Chain A
Amino acid sequence: AQKITQTQPGMFVQEKEAVTLDCTYDTSDQSYGLFWYKQPSSGEMIFLIYQGSYDEQNATEGRYSLNFQKARKSANLVISASQLGDSAMYFCAMKDDYKLSFGAGTTVTVRA
Chain B
Amino acid sequence: EPEVTQTPSHQVTQMGQEVILRCVPISNHLYFYWYRQILGQKVEFLVSFYNNEISEKSEIFDDQFSVERPDGSNFTLKIRSTKLEDSAMYFCASSEGRAKSIQFTPGLFGEGSRLTVL
Q: What is the interface of chain A, defined by CB distance below 8 A to chain B? A: 31, 33, 35, 37, 42-47, 50, 91, 93, 95-105
Contact = CB atoms under 8 A, between A and B. Distances in A.
B109 A98 contact: no
The SS class assigned to the A binding surface is strand
A102 B43 contact: yes
Interface stretch (B13-21, B68-76, B78-86, B100-108): B100-108
Interface in B35-58: 35, 41-45, 48, 50, 55-56
Contacts of B43: 45, 91, 93, 100, 102
19 contacts: A31-B100, A35-B106, A44-B111, A45-B43, A47-B108, A93-B43, A95-B99, A95-B107, A97-B56, A97-B99, A98-B31, A98-B50, A98-B98, A98-B100, A99-B33, A100-B107, A102-B43, A102-B44, A103-B42
Contacts of A43: 89, 111-112, 114
Given A95-B100, A100-B99, A47 B107 contact: yes
Complex A-B, nearest 6 residue pairs according to Cβ-Cβ distance, in ascending order: A45-B109, A98-B56, A98-B48, A95-B99, A47-B106, A102-B43
B73 to A, nearest CB: 21
A50 B104 CA distance: 11
A9 to B, nearest CB: 10
User: Which interface class (under 10, 10 to 19, 20 to 34, 35 or more) fits B?
Assistant: 20 to 34
Contacts of B110: 44
Interface of B: 31, 33, 35, 41-45, 48, 50, 55-56, 89, 91, 93, 98-100, 104, 106-112, 114
A100 B99 CA distance: 7
B102 to A, nearest CB: 9
Nearest to B45: A99
Contact of A98 (B35, B44, B55, B91): B55
Nearest to B43: A102
Contacts of B104: 33, 95
